[in-house]
A and B are shown apart, each in its own frame.
Chain A
Amino acid sequence: MNLSGLVGVLRRSLLQLECRIIQATGLDRQLAPALAVHGPSILPQTHNEQEATTGPSFLDNVFWMAAPKKRRTIEINRTRRRDPSFMLKVKTNIEPCVECGHLKQKHILCGFCYEKIRKETALIRGQIKAMEGRPLNTPAQETLVLYDSESPGESDKDKRIVERNRKRPSWFSIY
């Protein structure tokens, strides 16, 4: 009986020794991988990783935008809308013209009075144009405007006389 036991022990110890020698020499390891798969290099898993690393975009949440907290009451609205800076400004520089009574601004000539003067000036210029005949014919002389029944004086000898067939207006004095 001991003989079979002894043979068994010897066999097991010999197998163990063989395993240890193979481990020590490194002959049990093989260079080829255990499992090889043919497929795309980019696996679908990497997309999720990229998105997760950049974080949430700027316009994702609407919570950062300004918004009114409360309804503006009609009293507050009225005080804002009726603020004097938005109202029409009252002009204090309007006054009636002394001569004709039309309204004028203080620093501007009366429109009515100036219109009278302008019309008369235009008529005088019409006379001058008729006297000159052709354009670009200005004489080197002073001009004097005379109305009905007026004659030139002593100092008006060298001037050219422009006649106007009407009475002298009150606002066009000689002096």
Chain B
Amino acid sequence: MRLNIQMLISHGRVARKMGLGPESRINMLRNILTGLVRHERIETTRGRADEVRFYAEKLIDYAKKGDTDEKAMKMANFWLTEKDLIPKLFKVLAPRFETQPKAYTRMARIPNRENLDKAAMAVLEYKGNPFPPLQTAKRDNELTLINQLLKGYREERAQQAAAKVEA
């Protein structure tokens, strides 16, 4: 928890105010969560993405209990407004994250929206989705001197190994 002025003013309250009130906030988050479960990668504003993350991960935790569990099914029924996603949640998403204990979602910030409001946007996705990855692994520049020397060394070793196999 960051000890900042916002924390001081809000007296430790972390839930954001969204929409017309607490009920409106839950409804809004429910819609966003349904979209996330359907499409597995969505773009929203940063605040909404941050709030939905918590609920998305809790939903997976409930789904891991299995679809025979009463509470889990009630939760899934409430949070997913499109009912064809409930089997997807229990049969696709829950087994996907069986080995992982915690972090099922990934949130990355995007340049501001092109509209007049220039809203700060974020992309939120479930890990293991079929789409292209947002961040490719950082690879060192191959054209630096050390990397060129190492490349030459690797090629030499490969040549020697090939010569040994032939002999």
Contact = CB atoms under 8 A, between A and B. Distances in A.
Contact of A117 (B84, B91, B96, B132): B132
A111 interface: yes
A140 B132 contact: no
Nearest to B37: A138
Interface residues of A, number: 30
Given A142-B92, A171-B132, A109 B138 contact: no
Contacts of B134: 109, 114, 117
A172 B87 CA distance: 29
B131 interface: yes
A145 B131 contact: yes
B92 A141 contact: yes
A160 to B, nearest CB: 10
Which bracket fits the contact residues of B? Answer: 20 to 34
A134 to B, nearest CB: 10
Contact of A136 (B84, B92, B110): B84
B133 interface: yes
Interface in B33-74: 38-39, 41, 43
A99 B83 CA distance: 41
Interface string A109-127: 1010010011011001100
A121 B110 contact: no
Nearest to B90: A140
B132 A121 contact: yes
B130 A145 contact: yes
Contacts of A107: 109
A111 B111 contact: yes
A22 interface: no
Contacts of A114: 110-111, 123, 134
A140 B87 contact: yes
- Mostly helix, strand, loop or mixed at chain B's interface? mixed
A108 B82 contact: no
A134 B5 CA distance: 50
Interface string B133-165: 111101000000000000000000000000000
A142 B136 contact: no
A143 interface: yes
B162 to A, nearest CB: 26
Contacts of A5: none
Contacts of A131: none
A92 interface: no
B38 A121 contact: no
Interface of B: 38-39, 41, 43, 82-85, 87-88, 90-92, 96, 108-111, 123, 130-136, 138
24 contacts: A99-B136, A105-B111, A107-B109, A108-B110, A108-B111, A109-B110, A109-B134, A114-B123, A114-B134, A120-B132, A121-B132, A136-B82, A136-B83, A138-B38, A138-B84, A138-B85, A140-B88, A140-B90, A140-B91, A144-B130, A145-B131, A169-B132, A171-B132, A173-B133
Pairs A-B, 4 closest by C-beta atoms: A172-B132, A140-B91, A140-B87, A143-B130
Given A120-B131, A137-B84, A171-B136, 9 more contacts: A109-B108, A109-B109, A111-B111, A117-B133, A140-B87, A142-B92, A142-B96, A172-B133, A173-B136
